Amino acid sequence: MTASDEKTTFPAKHSEYARMREMLRSNSSLTLGAGGADFVAVPDEVAEILDSVLSVLENGDAVAVSHRSQSLTTQQAAETLAISRPTLIKYLEQGEIPYEMRGRHRRVLLRDVLDFQSRNRIRRRERLDAMEDDVDDYRPVRDAGFSETR
């Protein structure tokens, strides 16, 4: 599968997605085999991907699988983060995301982009929680200073 190839799968009407997910989540080791041939152990990361795919299909949504190389261009990294390329460049120059120069071009590791995304989500959640606490501190007591008119 090349970087531009994408495979989309639509859910089947009568499927056993829930049963397959239960099997994936069991603590026993998962193996894969075909027609009495040798069996191969399924790695944990593959089982996690299968679980995610089955969850989406179980909800009736389609799943698209595409290839991502380990090293991304700034445009690919920006698309992964759903931000503009200039915003990504700002984060790179501020040291938020490590990068390396290859000639005149910046390259970013996918792992670093995903780490940044995770850190950003955590920071955003913490800020929202703090804002919610602040609002609770300043919220007036219900109906304080008001009198009933009816």
pLDDT of the chain along its 150 residues, tens only?
A: 444 456 777 877 767 888 888 888 877 778 888 777 788 888 888 888 888 888 888 888 888 876 666 899 999 999 999 999 999 999 999 999 999 999 999 999 999 999 999 999 999 999 998 888 877 666 666 656 666 677
pTM of structure: 0.51
- Cβ neighbors of 99 (< 8 A, separation 6 or more) are 92, 106, 107, 108, 112
CATH among 3.40.605.10, 1.10.1660.10, 2.102.10.10, 3.40.50.300 for 71-138: 1.10.1660.10
Interior/surface letters 75-108, b for 16+ CB within 10 angstroms, e for the rest: ebbbebbeeeeeebbebbeeeebebeeeeeebbb
3-state DSSP assignment of residue 149 = coil
- Cβ neighbors of 115 (< 8 A, separation 6 or more) are none
Report pLDDT for 140: 62
**Domain(s) of CATH 1.10.1660.10: residues in the chain:** 71-138
